[in-house]
């Protein structure tokens, strides 16, 4: 009897913890997973969000779901240079890999959303992406296939914001960690080869990568002008300045996470680099000069061996990806 009571108590405690924090993150990520109080994590809500994430009826022509671009098999990116919307319409920016976004503080390449709840509906309602009307999204949520699930999770008739909350909850559970790098940091010195260890030294030192790619998500969640938008000699994308209007933000983009980086090619906000070798060569050359180039971008003078070492280290950032429970 006492054992049974204890088991019940443990289940209750576990359920309460789950409602606020979700499943325990993998090695390398913080135990504290930021979850807004108005949208706590529950098992049912995450399952609903997962269904919606793969729901093609959330696109106007029924051809695309969120997963159509954020493909779980490709590190939750799509492998294309720039995004493709309904009807194959090309977007202007590369699809970011949406792993570990629970720890993010800025969303989209230009940071126009500051929470996952703000972010979730924008691609669905964008005419060049999934092209849905708000009424269509609400109608789907109130359809026979979804209504009871929404009522169970939110306790009321589904609304547009409930769709956003469910999707955001699911995305918060998409995590990548337990990479060889994480195991090395944990103390397993054999987890990295000698080349990757040298690469880590370069990453932290001579190459200065940690100036932006820092913390467990390997992103400072800030915006930097690395010159990529100026490579044609003129500014091809205002970047962060579209949001702030500030001259200093012209051509600045959010630092992407380097988690799973070997599986998220092509690279940069415009997908203009097909390989990590090209990315390393670009930074080695000091980026592209422009009026607002980040002062930390400078020629690195890496040797061929150092470039190989850096590449080996970047490869060590690919670990296990999980979602939901």
Partner 1 sequence: MKMMLALGLSACLASAALIAQARSAADLYQEGLQLEEVKGDLQKAIATYHSIVERAPADRGIAAKAQLHIGLCYERMGKAEASKAYETVIREYADQKDPAAQAKLRLASLGGAAAQPSEAAVVARQVWSGSDVDLEGKPSTDGRLITFIDWTSTRSGNVAVRNLTTGENRTLTHSSSFAEGFGEYPVLSPDGRQVIFGWYNDDGQFIKVASSDGSRSRVLVHKPGVYAYELAWSPDGRQVAAIMDNFGGDKTSQIALISASDGSITPLKSMGWRPTSLGGFSPDGRFLVYSVAKSGSDTETGIYSIAVDGSRESVLVKGAANDSSPVWTPDGTSVVFVSDRSGTAGLWSIRVADGQSHGSAELVRPNMGQIFNMGFARDGSYFYGTRNDQTDVFEAAIDPQTLQIAAQPAPARMSDRFVGFNSGPAWSPDGRFVAFLRGEDRRTKSLIVRTVADGTERTLATKFIDSYFAAQMGPTWFPDSRSMIVPDTDAPNQRSTFRRVEIESGKETSLFEARYRSIWPLVKMAPDGKSLYYTTSEPSANPEENILHLVRRDIETGKEIELYRVQSGGVGLFGLCVSPDGTQLAFMLNVPSSGANRSDEGRRVLMTMPSSGGAPRELYKGDYSHPSPFAGVWTKDGRHVLVTTVDTARRMRVWAFPAAGGEPKKLDLTMERMSALDLSPDGRRLIFTGTQTKPELWTITNLIPTVRTAR
67 interacts with partner 1 by CB under 8 A: no
Q: Do the bridges between strand 175-177 and strand 320-322 make them parallel or antiparallel, or are there none, so unpaired?
A: antiparallel
d(CA 102, CA 35): 7
Cβ proximity of 135 and 91 under 8 Å = no
Stretch that binds partner 1, among 87-95, 161-169, 200-208, 316-324 (CB under 8 A): 200-208
Annotate each residue in 165-194 with x if it binds partner 1 (CB under 8 A) or - if it does not, as one string: --------------------x-x-------
Shortest Cβ distance from residue 71 to partner 1 (Å)? 28
Summarize the chain as % helix, strand, coil (round to 5). Answer: 45, 5, 50
Stretch that binds partner 1, among 70-78, 133-141, 195-203, 277-285 (CB under 8 A): 195-203
DSSP secondary-structure letter at 239? B
Prior bond to 266 cis, omega within 30?
Answer: yes
* Closest to 168 in 3D by CA, of 218, 72, 104: 104
- Dihedral sign computed on CA atoms, order 35, 38, 43, 45: negative
Out of 202, 228, 279, 297, the residue judged to bind partner 1 by CB under 8 A: 202
Out of 116, 200, 280, 317, the residue judged to bind partner 1 by CB under 8 A: 200
Out of 220, 285, 286, 324, the residue judged to bind partner 1 by CB under 8 A: 220
d(CA 125, CA 108): 15
Nearer to partner 1, 84 or 198 (CB): 198
Please list every residue from 98 through 117 that binds partner 1, using CB under 8 A: 103
Which residue has 């592209």 as its token pair? 288
Nearer to partner 1, 41 or 52 (CB): 41
> Which residues of this protein are in contact with partner 1, per CB under 8 A?
17, 20-21, 24, 28-35, 37, 103, 185, 187, 200-207, 210, 213-216, 218, 220, 295
């Amino acid at each position: 009897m006492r054992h049974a009571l204890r088991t019940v108590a443990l289940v209750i405690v576990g359920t309460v913890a789950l409602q606020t924090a979700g499943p325990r993150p993998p090695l390398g990520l913080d135990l504290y997973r930021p979850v807004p109080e108005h949208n706590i994590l529950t098992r049912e809500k995450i399952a609903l969000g997962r269904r919606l994430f793969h729901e093609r009826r959330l696109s106007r022509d029924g051809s695309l779901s969120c997963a159509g671009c954020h493909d779980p098999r490709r590190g939750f990116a799509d492998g294309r240079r720039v995004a493709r919307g309904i009807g194959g319409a090309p977007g202007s920016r590369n699809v970011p890999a949406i792993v570990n976004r629970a720890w993010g503080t800025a969303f989209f390449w230009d940071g126009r959303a500051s929470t996952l709840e703000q972010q979730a509906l924008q691609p669905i309602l964008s005419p060049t992406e999934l092209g849905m009307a708000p009424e269509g999204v609400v109608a789907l949520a109130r359809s026979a296939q979804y209504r009871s699930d929404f009522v169970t999770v939110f306790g009321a008739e589904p609304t547009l914001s409930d769709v956003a909350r469910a999707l955001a909850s699911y995305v918060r559970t998409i995590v990548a960690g337990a990479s060889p790098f994480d195991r090395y940091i944990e103390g397993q010195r054999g987890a990295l080869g000698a080349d990757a260890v040298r690469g880590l030294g370069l990453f932290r030192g001579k190459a200065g990568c940690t100036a932006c790619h820092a913390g467990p998500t390997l992103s400072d969640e800030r915006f930097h002008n690395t010159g990529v938008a100026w490579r044609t000699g003129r500014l091809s994308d205002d970047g962060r300045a579209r949001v702030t209007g500030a001259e200093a933000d012209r051509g600045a983009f959010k630092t992407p996470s380097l988690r799973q980086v070997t599986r998220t090619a092509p690279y940069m906000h415009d997908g203009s680099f097909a390989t990590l070798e090209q990315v390393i060569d670009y930074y080695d050359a000091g980026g592209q000069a422009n009026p607002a180039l980040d002062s930390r971008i400078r020629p690195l003078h890496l040797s061929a061996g150092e470039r190989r070492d850096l590449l080996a280290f970047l490869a060590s950032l690919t670990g296990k990806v999980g979602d939901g429970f």
